Amino acid sequence: MNFQNLTTIENPETYIDVAFKSAEAAGASKRREFVGKEVNKLIRSRVIEITKIKALTKTAAKLLENIVANYPSIDGLDPFYLALVKCTIDYAQLKQSLGAMAWGAQMLHRLGEDAERRIRATRQLEYVNKHRQAFYGRAASVFKQIKKNLAYLEEARKIMKKYPPVKTGIPTIVIAGAPNVGKSSLLAALTGSAPRVAPYPFTTQQLMLGYFETDSSRIQIIDTPGLLDRPLEKRNPIEKQAILALKHLAKAIIFVLDPTEACGYSFQEQLHLLAEMKKEFQIPVLVVANKTDLPYEKKLAEDTLLVSVEKKLGIEELKERVIKIISA
């Protein structure tokens, strides 16, 4: 899903301005058609004002309809993005705001038809202009009534623009683990992408993506913010994003341990987090012990793969294990 290219939602005044300008332009061009022609004043005025009304209705309604059309169709979203929307945006308000755009467009059409009918019915020249003017006022008021909704759609757009451009259709592995254990370093080593790496916890503040090719496919690796061992309801929004990726995208987890405890979290704590993850997500877990270039005393389970991102040890072996899981 492409959230990055959503177009800016403007304030009502901007839309009113665009719509009114198009109405005036259409009116002026219609007026020119009458130059030098002998036409009854009432008829001429009717034609010109109705032209303006139609132009305004069409432009204004189209502006609102386009907002809805350009917005991702929320119900059709992939489960990961739907969950992300629900966790970062007020879903009910979003739906209501999109509904308000449809309401506005419909309202404009109805008001336009109504004004046109009145103008056709009147026999008095001065009423033609009055009806058109009243229509202008009502059309502007429609936009003012949806001011809050426009503002909310713009707010939501700004949030969605920052969503990670995750690909939902390709095999995906999620790197997880306690803070500062070397997850981002590992992503870089596996995929050549360049996430921020720093010697302190919580460096990664959003999902980071990388890819590597195998003979037959492309594999997506997602690096996540460091997780603390705590219940889901206590997790912050960034941790929740990581959980969503694990739940909806991951075919397997690479769980990174730091047996040297240089990360600042005890090995015991890390193992507890690992156990929790295994319980919560019923997918294969590849356990990796990183920083093995440094001394450590902790005993590791037999199936733990020893790596050192720093010394580029064990990376190829890890890639092979990833490919094996993906093709299983």
Identify which of residues 294 and 301 has a Cβ nearer to ligand GTP in the complex. Answer: 294
Per-residue contact string for residues 298-317; x = within reach of ligand GTP by CB under 6 A: ----------xxx-------
Shortest distance, CB of residue 165 to Mg ion, whole angstroms? Answer: 18
Q: Which of 184, 220, 260, 290 binds Mg ion (CB under 5 A)?
A: 184
Q: Which of 201, 248, 264, 284 binds ligand GTP (CB under 6 A)?
A: 201
Counting contacts by CB under 6 A, is residue 231 touching ligand GTP?
no
Distance in angstroms (rounded) separating the CA atoms of residues 114 and 117: 5
Binds 182: which of ligand GTP, Mg ion, none (CB < 5-8 Å by kind): ligand GTP
Identify which of residues 183 and 321 has a Cβ nearer to ligand GTP in the complex. Answer: 183
Counting contacts by CB under 6 A, is residue 290 touching ligand GTP?
yes
Counting contacts by CB under 6 A, is residue 180 touching ligand GTP?
yes
Return the residue nearest ligand GTP (CB atom). 226
Binds 309: which of Mg ion, ligand GTP, none (CB < 5-8 Å by kind): ligand GTP
Shortest distance, CB of residue 234 to ligand GTP, whole angstroms? Answer: 17
Q: Which of 59, 149, 172, 185 binds ligand GTP (CB under 6 A)?
A: 185
> Which of the residues 3 through 32 are near ligand GTP (CB under 6 A)?
none
